[in-house]
Amino acid sequence: MSLYIFDKDGTLVTKKSGGDPPIPNSVEEQVPLPGVTEKCRELKEAGHTLAIASNQGGVAFGYLKDREAGALMQHAADLIGAEGWSMCVHHPKGTVAAYAIECPRRKPAPGMLLDLMRRLRFMPANTIYVGDMESDRQAAEAAGVQFVWAADFFGWEEEA
């Protein structure tokens, strides 16, 4: 069995009303992307473990509080049946001083992935990270795990 770690925004969920950026700031705005819940249910039924690792830099810019970001993470985890999640609320250019730092957990650094593998007791060889950004791919590489683009994983068609 494997550990599947997913990015959250743009990989698992989007903002109900769309918008730019399409990142939800409340549980009411957060909806799963097409095919996500079905694919994750199949993975769970096959005996795999699911988790989420997500930068939540909006906290560092004051768009939401850390507890609100945590509620969004838990909501996404509940949507897919994840057994754990990890988030980084830091951003080196943030406007909230307490969170405006470089952090070894913030992707593209591997900290969140390493944390989840340690907590859920999986080795890199049995871990797959699914994401939608280059920083996700770089985090997977830094953690020594396989990476799959979300569009490929969930079978989304490329927009023309």
- The set of residues, in sequence order, having a beta carbon less than 8 Å from that of 13 and lying 6+ positions away, is 24, 30, 31, 32, 33, 36, 76, 79
Q: Are strands 127-131 and 146-149 parallel, antiparallel or unpaired?
A: parallel
Q: What is the mean pLDDT of residues 64-93?
A: 97
**Among 12-16, 42-46, 123-127, the least confident range:** 12-16
Q: Among 132, 123, 107, which residue's Cα sits nearest to residue 53?
A: 107
Q: CA torsion 110→114→21→134, rounded to 10°?
A: 40
pTM of this prediction? 0.94
Question: What 3-state class would DSSP assign to 127?
Answer: strand
Residue 80 to residue 39: CA distance in whole angstroms:
9
pLDDT, tens digit, 9 for 90 and up, residues 85-112: 999 999 999 999 999 999 999 999 999 9
Percent of the chain having pLDDT more than 70?
Answer: 95
Q: Are strands 49-55 and 84-88 parallel, antiparallel or unpaired?
A: parallel
CATH of 3-154, picked from 3.40.50.1000, 3.40.50.920, 3.40.50.1970, 3.40.50.720, is 3.40.50.1000
- The set of residues, in sequence order, having a beta carbon less than 8 Å from that of 160 and lying 6+ positions away, is none
Contact status, residue 25 vs residue 64, Cβ threshold 8 Å: yes
Ranges of each domain in the chain? 3-154
Q: What is the mean pLDDT of residues 13-26?
A: 79
Has residue 160 got a pLDDT over 50? no
Residue 157 to residue 144: CA distance in whole angstroms:
28
Q: What is the mean pLDDT of residues 38-62?
A: 97
**Among 20-34, 37-51, 75-89, the least confident range:** 20-34
